[in-house]
A and B are shown apart, each in its own frame.
Chain A
Amino acid sequence: MHIIVPIKQVPQSSDVKMDPVTGTMIRSGRSSTLNPLDLYALEAAFRLTEAHGGSVTVVTMGPDSAANILKEALSMGAERAIHLTDRPFGGSDTYATSYVLSRAIEKIGSYDLVITGERATDGDTAQVGPGIAAWLDLGLVTYVSSIEEATSTHLVAERLVEEGYQRVQVALPALLTVVKEIAIPRLPTLKGKKRAMASTIERWDAEAIEADRSRIGLKGSPTRVVKIETPKVARSCTIYHADGDEATLAAVDHLIDLLEEQQLLKEVHHG
């Protein structure tokens, strides 16, 4: 089983604090990391190839520094890593990004599955996975929380949806997007790190993937960002201190009165 996992470099959110006055983000340093939700896609891929044989190829589109996340994936067990990097890729929205990744996946070839994380924690769109499936005409199963069965021709999985878990069978090749429930991600091993250090990362540009220039970068992106605004923190917090029994009781009653006033307790009264 050959599985391709597209991954993304995102800003490290643990380095991000909010300015309490302006509500803006203060980023200490400029460190980047592997999108945390991609770890689950990698783990799902490793478990499938460990159970059924085969290998995992990782691919990312991004600047030079994105090579770091490919190294990380190699040290966890990926066998091959491809870095899509070229000036004309810059400014791609989810439409253009999913096109670039789909071209790369086509060039990698002979795969059974493409597995992505649910979404990236920076853009938070969850659009690139389904977009790749559309470009490649693959069966698409999103929000996968468990994989029950996998053969060379099909896979049985559960999706975490609003009503519960939807159980589906999908013909291969297919694209899955997975949620956190799928598995607990492994850590890179020392042996893996050494292997990653020795591996080479293949660098592909727009020409290498035979990309249609009208579909990549800003030019190939249907969407335009018109304006970026920092919303003002509109809330002002009323604080009650619950020091001791009396103050606790008073604080609780203040809260209940407030909730009642704003009709936030109505379900209790009528339910």
Chain B
Amino acid sequence: MAEVWTIAETHNGLLKEVSFELLARGRALADELEVPLASVVLASHTREGELERLAAYGADIIYVAEDERFASFTVHSHAAVLLPLVRDHGPQIILAAATTTGRTLLPYLAVKLGCGLTADCTSLAIEEGTGNLLQIRPAIGGNIMATIKSPDHRPQMATIRPRSTPLGTMDTTRRATIIRVDPPSLSTDPVEVLGVRPFRDQQTSIEDARTVVSGGKGLKKRENFTLIEQLATALGGEVGASRDAVDRGWATYPHQVGLSGKTISPELYIAIGISGAIQHLAGIKTAKRIVVINNDDEANILDIADVAIIGDLFAIIPVLLRRLNERRKTQ
């Protein structure tokens, strides 16, 4: 029976969390279709025990290609392995993460394989009767949910928004069949990786953060933006910013949240001095909890917030920082 595949992502030999989120999605689909679930790993190397973790989270089969050139992503080196592998095994579904890697690799593969692809899905289901994959994604700035399918083309492909899937239960007694794949020689990758420069401010990217504290125009000037940084630190989170704040140079582009920046799904999102332009709201709709601190009780952002404190943010944040600090000391 045609398999369901997930494309795992690694960094320095370790699997990224999103690889397991994809397995949770894939497991549900494979169970419903009663077919095997496979995970594909392209890495420079995999550390001891990593492949076993894929099995524990639901993979029945693991295809592994290890090669130095996979240390850093190029679409051509990945496609050179995946295209023949897909043609040989004919999976019916391929899921990848909606990361810079997944969102580059899958559209490239989809054209090469002549099949359909849905970007940035937030939920998946199997259509009754046909077995088609129903791919559900937010569209038009997150204001509508569209259900999309590819009835006549295989594999059906989708990218899944990171952090939109709770992990499945880990079962360390589960075993998977590991299939080693020889990476074909690719002497002509048009892209050569020269190196990776980590972010200067040591941040982890806001897409991966559990907590994001964002500031907007209401901060009034650059110096005040340190309040956002202090609160983010106090909460163990990362700093985000509205487009206004980035355009004014208070924060850099990697911090920008919204339609022209990052779409994020943290467990806690705190929006401070952000009125909530539709572009911004579209970027945070899938956050689990949204807290607002704003002086305007009619701000758009309240429409999608869970809790709001209405008042002067310059009075509120110092109190919040003090109380968080006191609380920590008493624990």
Contact = CB atoms under 8 A, between A and B. Distances in A.
A229 B147 contact: yes
A109 interface: no
Contacts of B186: none
Interface of A: 11, 13-14, 16-18, 20, 23-25, 36-37, 93-95, 98-99, 121-131, 133-135, 138-143, 145, 156, 158-171, 174, 179-181, 221-231, 233, 235-243, 245, 247-249, 251-253, 255-256, 258-259, 262, 264-265, 267-269, 271
B1 interface: no
Contact of A224 (B117, B149, B316): B149
A237 B306 contact: yes
A103 B55 CA distance: 44
Nearest to A166: B196
Interface stretch (B31-39, B58-66, B85-93, B203-211): B203-211
B140 A122 contact: yes
Interface of A, secondary structure class, is mixed
A264 B324 contact: no
Interface of B: 11, 72-76, 99-101, 103-104, 106-112, 114-120, 134, 138-141, 143-153, 190-199, 205, 207-208, 210-211, 234-237, 252-254, 256, 259-261, 263, 267-268, 277-279, 281, 289-292, 297, 300, 302-312, 315-316, 319-320, 323-324, 327-328, 331
Nearest to A236: B306
Given A242-B316, A252-B319, A167 B193 contact: yes
B151 A224 contact: yes
Given A16-B141, A174-B190, A255 B309 contact: yes
Given A17-B278, A162-B205, A169-B191, A180 B253 contact: yes
Contacts of B237: 267
Given A169-B191, A264-B289, A268-B234, A238 B307 contact: yes
Given A13-B141, A130-B107, A159-B100, A252 B309 contact: yes
Given A95-B116, A125-B120, A242-B316, A139 B191 contact: yes
Q: Identify the 5 closest CB pairs spanning chains A and B, nearest first.
A: A242-B311, A139-B190, A222-B116, A267-B236, A134-B111
Given A248-B319, A267-B236, A228 B145 contact: yes
Contact of B311 (A14, A25, A180, A248): A248
A223 B143 contact: no
